[in-house]
A and B are shown apart, each in its own frame.
Chain A
């Protein structure tokens, strides 16, 4: 019973930090393991000439954000609230904001 509580806390911290280091190990392991699937995806992107991840299929400009034109997200009014929840996650691409004529 020597400083049992303090020991308990240190033990908890040590175990947690060990688990966190395991997380790093797991992450790097997964990374190596995912090579084949990554190759497959790259192949599809190359063959089909794709430009976007399929994340948000609710609207055109959320499905292909890199292809979106300035108007679509702001169809009603530039200040109008976003219709689609995904639009709140994915703001318009930076290249849309660039000056057209440089």
Chain B
């Protein structure tokens, strides 16, 4: 009980002390909260995106065989399918037709996809919600598309994907094979790439090897690799995150510098008085500890809460310009929160501990002054 009271009493004095320089401390709190807010927002966004990718893409094709010419992705001859079918363990092979379409009127890029069974036949398409937004079209509208030879093809919008599915369908235009080949100029006998389904998942690496040997100008991409691609979203080595992290570290260094250049003469004087009226060194250190904790813990709590609201209630509005980049078509989606205690704990240790240490350490020397210093002040 004594111990608790001691903490509470010293905390009380610490708070009075902080309130004395209200302006400075409120500013410190605001800036530190902002740093935590940015860091936490990035953490929340990243982990939710990764989780989404992991869940949504788990039914991607098991193997995709892509042909490269001079190191670049090129069309793949349909004849390759025969070679692939021969490989033991391969259940089925299918040609996949897809590609990009640049719309000069809007500056946006769309992705054409030819499905296994196209419900709407030639002349009809299903478009993603993002496309509908960009060209301001609705069901039933007729939209012209420029074909590979300069002419135009008009297609009717038969269906628009739901807004719920935007993260996967926003820029898609689902089209018939005939129409796509006409627009893209891909001759019969070629496809964009080939998809493979195999009997036994454990044989994937072996089969991938066999593919590389059988068709040396191709590269197989396995589902696992597809999923792992999204592990690097917001990877710390990526430019933006590095910039944010550097900013955060810089700010933190500025804070710590402010503290580390030693206490002001006012603060030293006060510690001298405290020692003179009966406070021990450990009491002074405890006061400094609470000073650090009050500021950093408050910033941590506020930052986390604000970050959560920012990412999951405002759809990370502040990051939008960064994520949007130069895209014209930007999907609108709400992320499903993916929180774990480990994340929060890491953020806690990264924000509260260093700041508290930075507050205590420089005060150490001042805290150890002899009590009779007060007589000589």
Residues of chain A whose beta carbon lies under 8 Å from any beta carbon of chain B: 3-6, 8-9, 12-13, 16-17, 19-20, 23-24, 26-27, 30-31, 34, 37-38, 40-42, 44-60, 62-72, 82, 84-91, 93-95, 100-102
CB-defined contacts of B168 to chain A, threshold 8 Å: 41, 44-45, 50, 53-54
Please state if B56 and A38 are interface contacts (CB–CB under 8 Å).
Answer: yes
Asked if residues A23 and B308 are in contact (CB atoms below 8 Å), the reply is yes
> Closest CB of chain A to B330's CB: distance in Å?
7
CB-based contact A94/B232 at 8 Å: yes
- Given contacts A53-B230, A85-B326, A44 and B72 within 8 Å (CB-CB): no
Per-residue contact bits, chain B 46-79, to A (CB 8 Å; 1 contact, 0 not): 0001001101111111001010101111000000
Given contacts A54-B170, A56-B325, A67-B193, 15 further A-B contacts (CB under 8 A): A5-B19, A6-B11, A12-B301, A23-B304, A27-B336, A30-B312, A30-B336, A49-B116, A51-B64, A57-B130, A89-B233, A89-B234, A91-B235, A95-B229, A100-B219
Chain A residue at smallest Cβ distance from B216? A101
Centre residue among A19, A30, A38, A44 by max chain B CB count within 10 A: A44
Q: In the complex, A47→B109 CA distance in Å?
A: 22
Closest to A27 in B: B337
Per-position binary interface string of chain B over residues 310-336, scored 1 when its CB falls under 8 Å from any chain A CB and 0 otherwise: 001000000000111111111100001
Q: Does B138 contact A (CB under 8 A)?
A: no
Residue of B nearest to A36 (CB): B164
Task: Check A69 against B329 for contact (C-beta < 8 Å).
Answer: no
> Which residue on B lies nearest to A38, using beta carbons?
B55
Interface residue B128 (Cβ < 8 Å from any Cβ of A): yes
B83 at the interface (CB under 8 A from A): no
Are A93 and B229 in contact, with the CB atoms below 8 A?
yes
In the complex, which residues of chain A have a beta carbon less than 8 angstroms from the beta carbon of B36? none
Q: Given the complex of chains A and B, what is the CA–CA distance between A59 and B111 in angstroms?
A: 11
Q: Tell me the complex Cα distance, A38–B70, Å.
A: 39
B203 to chain A, nearest CB (A): 15
Instruction: Name 5 A/B residue pairs within 8 A (Cβ), A-sorted.
Output: A50-B60, A54-B111, A54-B171, A57-B329, A72-B72
Q: How far is the CA of A44 from the CA of B52 in the complex (A)?
A: 14
A94, B228: Cβ atoms under 8 Å?
Answer: yes
In the complex the two chains form, is A24's CB within 8 Å of B339's CB?
Answer: yes
- Residues of A contacting B: mostly: helix
B46 to chain A, nearest CB (A): 10
- Bound state CA distance, A85 and B241, in angstroms? 12
Judged by a CB distance under 8 angstroms, whether B161 is at the interface is: yes
Closest 5 CB pairs of A and B: A88-B239, A85-B325, A27-B337, A16-B301, A95-B225
B148 within 8 A of A: no
Residues of A within 8 A of B230 (CB): 53
- The answer to whether B221 and A95 touch across the interface, beta carbons within 8 angstroms, is yes
Kindly state the separation between the CA atoms of A72 and B70 in the bound complex, as whole angstroms.
11
Name the residue on A nearest B224 (C-beta): A95
The answer to whether B195 and A19 touch across the interface, beta carbons within 8 angstroms, is no
Contact of B240 among A42, A63, A88 (CB under 8 A): A88
Distance between Cα atoms of A93 and B212 in the complex (Å): 19
CB distance from A38 to the nearest CB of B (A): 6
Interface-central residue, A4, A17, A37, A41, by most chain B CB under 10 Å:
A41
Most B C-beta atoms less than 10 A away, residue of A19, A49, A70: A49
Write out, one digit per residue, whether chain B residues 4-21 have a CB within 8 A of any chain A CB (1) or not (0): 000011011001100100
Q: Which residues of A contact B156 (CB under 8 A)?
A: none
Give the CA-CA distance A16 to B232 in the complex, in Å.
Answer: 32
Beta-carbon contact of A84 and B326 below 8 Å? yes
Contact of B56 among A27, A45, A48 (CB under 8 A): A45
